[in-house]
Structures are given as structure tokens and as C-alpha cells.
Amino acid sequence: MKINTKIPSVLLMLVLAASASAELDFTGQSAQEYGLAIATEFKARNQGWHNSESTLTMTLRNANGEENIRKIRIKTLEVEGDGDKSLTIFDQPRDIKGAAFLTFSHVSGSDDQWLYLPALARVKRISSRNKSGPFMASQFAYEDLSSFEIEKYTYRYLGMETIDERDCYKVELVLLDELSGYTRQVIWIDKEHFRAYKIDYYDRKESLMKTLTFSEYELYLKQYWRAIQANMVNHQTQKSTLLHTDKIAFRTGLIESDFNKTSLKRAH
Amino acid sequence: MKTITAAGFVVLLFHALPCLAVQFEATGHAAFDWREYYQSAQFDQRSVSQANHQLSLFAEPEFIWSLNNAEHTFIFKAFVRLDSADDERSHQDIRALYWLTYGDNWEVQIGIAKKYWGVAESQHLVDIINQTDLVESPGGEHKLGQPMVAYTLIHDWGTLESFILPWFRERTFSGTDGRLRTGLAIDTDRAQYQHDREYRHVDYALRWSHSIGLVDAGLSWFRGTSREPLLVPQVTDIATEQFSSISLVPFYPLIEQTGLDLQATLGATLLKLEVIRRYFDAPLHQDYVAATGGFEYTFYSPLKTSWDVGALGEYLYDSREDPSLAIGQNDLFLGTRIAFNNEASTDVLAGVTQDLNDAGSRVLVVEISTRLSANIKLNFDAWVFAARDSENIIYQLHRDDFVQTRISYYF
């Protein structure tokens, strides 16, 4: 089995905050300043949810339409002043059932990750270097699933565009991390609720590699928008992966001690 | 049958508490193994012919009851194997039968369970809680369930695990008709112990472990019956055999062992070290030190593939000079691990452990695994044992090269 990951706290842009839909005022700002302001608001609206537990199904489709199913559960703890802590438990395919991994993501520096292999009852500290590798053979790379941090990019506002009849800010994100599989991303964020609707990923050769589209947004805790479906299409291989949130609950009582090497071993 | 009763009891108990939320899950796998040996056996006698093919079936079902959102967990995991050639390899075990509960900074586990300690890949020195189920694989990674009371404390200064181990499990060895055995058969029915209480001797263990930045460290201590027996030649039943028959009897001495394991995770490089010091009780004077240290480096997505290609190197040291006692006395392990990251999760692991004292002695292993469908997995393993010096422990296996094909069904 492949395991070397970086799993999301919560799938990056699946979470977006709603609340006050005050429009940003861009007057007198450069495209870079606009872009940063949008990203900052986007991030700010996704804070304060404390913890969550979700059950997810990934449907992997190849160019011939053949499907492979993956099922995972993710527990996430929001950490103030640093990246989130998360525990990912694999349920399907059945041969990796019970495998789990623990991630302490950090705003600066590399993340800490431990993997639990139930057959050997072994906990292994693993490298978090593998940002551009595929997560469970899907079209999601580990970095696509990691928590969104302002410091990882530089920004440029590209203008307004309409997606699904919604006015969206179009912002270019240039990656600062040389280990990333991308040079840049273009994201469409709706003006009303700051929800991501689409992301284009450009590879190291500057060609369009993948497009992620979000749909079926629902509101949680009267404040946090989350897309129930996220579909990643790879334009170069014609493969795609649909990530569906089967169940999600916020503020379930998770605390710091649910995220350590001892709790990793008892995660079933 | 005791276990069945206990499992039944838990079912009744949990189902008798309707006010509490009980979650039940049955999982596990069953598999078919086909082993083929490519050389004739070296220990065939008039009355004994070692197998050239081995077919076998095994199952490892697991039942999990979880109460009140996993505040209490009860797990029962059984194992049974039926082997076509070797009666000693046809065996069953309770891999797990325990109750576990926990609080914010503690955890208690009572029953039969498995614990793994250590970081190295080529051998597992520090790992001492469970007995090796050696008939399962020559790599020694399969373990027998160990009865225990385990109490874990989790604090800022690290994790402290303490164990009371009230019941000893004897190591499994191939029978006379099987392969991967010693020249003199091992008579497991006549195992001897240094302590009068034999398998009822109560063993104790402690382990402190902590993650400090990029370093994961562990210190461990064990006092009790050695999991590794000394093999003592004994004359058996002269009257019934034409020639005097000598067999090896496992002798389980009392030991005290301290261990250290360290891993530094530096980007794509992992640096690993395991060291143990083993002390024997009088009158045995066999104290020794052993160590394994090395690295693992992973190339992520090399040459525009989506593969992970790992390179591993470890040095194995043991202060005992007698080559018949241990494999890793002055040996070098080199290996590679390739994950293709495809839908079938195809993985390849290949490695060689080369004896640096004896150029002709080495062990090669290749393991390939892939998924055939959502529930079916295919494994292909090959082992090659080479030895020129008949004193070397590997020499006992030098005609036992084999390939094994396994098809497993997961449920």
C-alpha cells in the first residue's frame, strides 16, 4: 500500500466561511494586494470551527470509465497559531483497512507524519516530502488536500468572472514551495460567500494539468460552507477523481489527546 | 474453545446493555499459499522426507466491539493455518483478545495483544514483547499473541508504557517434514526453561518514547524469559532408533534487556538506529550487545513517474562471534522499496543481507504485492539463502530457496 501522505485536515477548500458577506474594497490597491486580501478573507472565514469528523468516498475513474472506490475517515483538530492536526483512517480497499495516519501540519517548516500499519502493529514516522505524489492513486496530490496557508503563495487578482451564475473573484496563486508539483493555480472564489468554485492547476511546464470543481455547498454551524462534492479532472491523462463527503460533523468533542501516537494505534 | 466462550460472553454483555451504543464490526482476510522449493532438501532421512511443495490455507478474522464511541473497545482476532506438508506449520493462535479503555493521558489494555517497538527494517532487535511465529515467515515479522496488562501514560515528557506479561509463548519452528529447519530437528514438545515456573514466569517491561522535533526516540527495559531460545542438543529415545537420535531442545533462559531506538526524519532521508544490551542470569555467561543502524532515502516521482523509489542501507552488528548464533553479526543490508502509486497499489520490496565475514553467505528477498480487485490481493515472495561456511546459521537453510504465491481475500 502506498502511504506517505499529507492528508488534510479538512480538504482544503471544501471549507469556506459564510457569515458577513461584506464586499472587499479594492480601490487604490494593486492586483497583488487585491489577491492577498481575497485570500486572507477566504482563510479568515474558515477559522474557529475547532474540530470535525468526516467520512469520505473517493471514486477514481480512468480514461476508459473504470472505477475504483476508496473510503476514508478524517478527524481534524484546529490548532491556533499553527497548521491543523489530523487523523486519517483507511476503510477501503479492505486490505488497508485499519491503517491510519497522523499529521501535524505546520505553517512553516515541514509537517510531522506518522503511519500506523495494523498487520505489524507498527507506528512509523514518515517523510512529509512527497507533496506532488498521488493520494491513494487518485488525481488528488497530497498537497491538494493539505490545509490552505497564506504563506505558501504569492497572489494576483485577475478580475471578476461568472461561474454557475455566481460572481467570482479570479485569483492567481504562485507557489513558493519548490517541492510542489505546480508552478501556479488559478482559483475562482464567489463574491457573496467566499466559497471556492473552481481551481486550475498548472504543472512545472506551465501547462494546464488539472481542474478541481466544487459543488453542493452546505452550511454548517451557521457559518462554514462546505462542498459535498469535489471533482478533480486531469486533462493530461483523462483520469478523474470524485471526492464525496458522506458524513460530516463539527465540534464533536475531539481534543489534543486524540491526536498522538498512542491514539493513532487505537484508531479503528 | 475458551476464546469462543469469551467472545460470546462479550456479545451477550454488550447486547445486554441496550442503553449504551455498541458498534460491531467483523473484518479480516483468508488466503491460499503455494510455496515451491527449487532444490532438493538437505535433511532427508529414511524416515523423513522434507517437502518440495507446500500448499496452505489460512484465515485471520477479527471482531471488534466498540462501546460509547470507542471509549471501550473489545477485540478478538483469531489465526488458523492448515499446511499440506508440515504439521508444525498447521497451527492456530489467538492474535488478539483484549479490552482497551483510555482517558486524556492514559490507556489501559488487558488481554492478548501485539506491541511493536523499533525503527529498523533489516532486523528487529528492540521489539521483544511478542514471541515470533517463525513458521509463518523466515523474516520473523509474524508474532504470536501475548497475554498482558499494559498501562500507558502520555505526558509532555513522553509516553511511558508499562507491561506485566503473565504467560510466556514458545517460539514456533518448522517440523521435520517442513523446510526452513535446522539439521537437527527442534523438539518443541520438550522445551525447557531456566526458571522453575517455566511459561508461568511473570515478565515485566517498560518503555519510554517521545517525539522531539525531527527525532523519535525510545528507551526500553525488559526482565523475564527470553523470547529467543538457546537450542540445546539432546539425545532422544535411543532404544527406538537404529542410530542414536539427537534433537535440539529449545531452552528459554532468563534475561534482562535494555534497548534504544532512534529515528531522525530529515526530509526524504530517514536515519535509524537500534541498540540492545542483553544480560543473562547466572550460570549463563552469554551477555551481548547488538545494533542495527542505517538510512532510508526516498526519490519521490523520479523520472516523471508517480512512483516512490526508496533506497535502504543498514549495518547489522552482534558482539557474539559464533556464526551459528545469529545472522546479523557483521552484515550489510541493502534494499529498495518501490511503490508504483497505481490503483492496484503495486509495491516491490527487494533486499539482500550480506555477511561481511563470509563473502558466500547472504540472504536475498523479493516481495511483490498488487491488488487484483477491491477485495483480492496477490503477493509474490522469493527467498534465497546462500552460505558456503557450514558453521554459519544460514547454511542450515542453503537448500531452502523458495518462491511463494499468495492470493488473499479481504472482507
DSSP percent split of chain A into helix, strand, coil, nearest 5: 15, 45, 40
Give the DSSP letter string of A253-265: ---GGGSSHHHHH
Q: Does B389 touch chain A (CB under 8 A)?
A: no
Torsion of CA A163, A166, A169, A172, to 10 degrees: -20
Question: Is B161:B206 a contact under the CB 8 Å cutoff?
Answer: yes
ipTM: 0.91
Taking only the tens place, the pLDDT of each residue in B247-262 is 899 999 999 999 999 9
Q: Do B159 and A98 touch (CB under 8 A)?
A: no
> Which chain A residue lies closest to B95 (C-alpha atoms)?
A119
For position B4, what pLDDT does the model report? 47
- Which domain range does residue B218 map to? 21-410
For position B16, what pLDDT does the model report? 52
For position A3, what pLDDT does the model report? 43
Q: Do B374 and A68 touch (CB under 8 A)?
A: yes
Looking at the partner chain, which of A68, A95, A266 has a beta carbon nearest the beta carbon of B73?
A266
Spatial distance between the Cα atoms of B384 and A132, rounded to a whole number of angstroms: 36
Spatial distance between the Cα atoms of B156 and B159, rounded to a whole number of angstroms: 8
Going by DSSP bridges, is the β-strand pair B288-300/B269-280 parallel, antiparallel, or unpaired?
A: antiparallel
For position A55, what pLDDT does the model report? 97
Q: Do B371 and A93 touch (CB under 8 A)?
A: yes
- Give the number of A-B residue pairs with CB atoms closer than 8 Å: 112
Contacts of A263 in chain B (CB under 8 A): 102
**To the nearest whole number, what is the mean pLDDT of chain B?**
91
Q: Does B377 touch chain A (CB under 8 A)?
A: yes
- Residue B176 or residue A251, greater confidence: A251
B199 confidence band (pLDDT: 50, 70, 90): very high
Spatial distance between the Cα atoms of B389 and B251, rounded to a whole number of angstroms: 25
Q: Do B64 and A268 touch (CB under 8 A)?
A: yes
Question: Is B107:B98 a contact under the CB 8 Å cutoff?
Answer: no
> Which chain A residue lies closest to B73 (C-alpha atoms)?
A266
Give the DSSP letter string of B283-346: T----EEEEEEEEEEEEESGGG-S-EEEEEEEEEEES---TTT-S-SEEEEEEEEEE--STT--
DSSP 8-state code for residue B213: T
Hey, which of A40-44, B12-16, B29-33 has the most confident mean pLDDT?
B29-33
Spatial distance between the Cα atoms of B132 and B253, rounded to a whole number of angstroms: 16
Taking only the tens place, the pLDDT of each residue in B151-175 is 999 999 999 999 999 999 999 999 9
In a domain, B145, yes or no: yes
Rg (CA), chain B: 22
The number of distinct structural domains making up chain B is: 1
In a domain, B76, yes or no: yes
- Any idea what the CATH number is for the domain that residue B253 is in? 2.40.160.10
Interface list for B 316-355 with A (CB within 8 A): 339, 341-343, 345, 347
Q: Do B410 and A120 touch (CB under 8 A)?
A: no
Q: What residues have CB less than 8 Å from B265, skipping those under 6 apart?
A: A112, A125, A126, A127, B214, B215, B216
Taking only the tens place, the pLDDT of each residue in B36-65 is 999 988 888 777 788 899 999 999 999 999
In a domain, B336, yes or no: yes
In this model, does residue B323 exceed pLDDT 80? no
Q: Do A126 and B411 touch (CB under 8 A)?
A: no
Q: In order of start, what are the domains of chain A with their CATH numbers?
A: 12-70+130-256 (2.50.20.10)
Contacts of B305 in chain A (CB under 8 A): none
Q: Do B343 and A132 touch (CB under 8 A)?
A: no
Going by DSSP bridges, is the β-strand pair A85-92/A100-104 parallel, antiparallel, or unpaired?
A: antiparallel
> Which chain B residue lies closest to A119 (C-alpha atoms)?
B142
What percentage of chain B exceeds 90 in pLDDT?
76
Q: Do B347 and A1 touch (CB under 8 A)?
A: yes
Interface list for B 146-175 with A (CB within 8 A): 152, 154, 159
For position B159, what pLDDT does the model report? 97
CA distance B41 to chain A (A): 31
Contacts of A255 in chain B (CB under 8 A): 104
Q: Does B357 touch chain A (CB under 8 A)?
A: no
Looking at the partner chain, which of B104, B159, B306 has a beta carbon nearest the beta carbon of A133?
B306
Q: Which has the closest alpha carbon to A103: A127, A72, A137? A: A127
Residue B103 sits at φ, ψ, to 5 deg, of -125, -165
For position B21, what pLDDT does the model report? 81
Contacts of A97 in chain B (CB under 8 A): 27, 410
In this model, does residue B72 exceed pLDDT 90? yes
CA distance A30 to chain B (A): 37
Sheet of B230-236, strands arranged across: B192-193, B245-252, B230-236
Q: What residues have CB less than 8 Å from B291, skipping those under 6 apart?
A: B125, B273, B274, B275, B276, B315, B316, B317
Q: Does B116 touch chain A (CB under 8 A)?
A: yes
In a domain, B9, yes or no: no
For residue B57 the three cell numbers come to: 490455507
What percentage of chain B exceeds 70 in pLDDT?
93
Interface list for B 190-249 with A (CB within 8 A): 209, 211, 216
For position A26, what pLDDT does the model report? 66
Taking only the tens place, the pLDDT of each residue in B381-411 is 999 999 988 888 889 999 999 999 999 999 9
Contacts of A2 in chain B (CB under 8 A): 308, 339, 341, 345, 347
Residue of A87, A95, A210 best to disrupt the B interface, most CBs of B under 10 A: A95
Q: Do A94 and B102 touch (CB under 8 A)?
A: no
Lowest mean pLDDT among A91-100, B197-206, B315-324: B315-324
Contacts of A130 in chain B (CB under 8 A): 298, 300-301, 308
Taking only the tens place, the pLDDT of each residue in B282-319 is 898 899 999 999 999 999 989 888 899 999 999 999 99
Q: Do B265 and A2 touch (CB under 8 A)?
A: no
Spatial distance between the Cα atoms of B336 and B348, rounded to a whole number of angstroms: 8
In a domain, B10, yes or no: no
Spatial distance between the Cα atoms of A253 and A53, rounded to a whole number of angstroms: 10
For position B337, what pLDDT does the model report? 97
In a domain, B7, yes or no: no
For position B68, what pLDDT does the model report? 86
Q: Do A126 and B408 touch (CB under 8 A)?
A: no
Task: Tell me the pLDDT of chain A (268 aa) as tens digits.
Answer: 444 444 444 444 444 443 444 556 667 788 999 999 999 999 999 999 999 999 999 999 999 989 999 999 999 999 988 889 999 999 999 999 999 999 999 888 889 999 999 999 999 999 988 888 899 999 999 999 888 889 899 999 999 999 988 999 999 999 998 889 999 999 999 999 999 999 999 999 999 999 999 999 999 999 999 999 999 999 999 999 999 999 999 999 999 999 999 999 998 7
In a domain, B12, yes or no: no
In this model, does residue B326 exceed pLDDT 80? no
In a domain, B3, yes or no: no
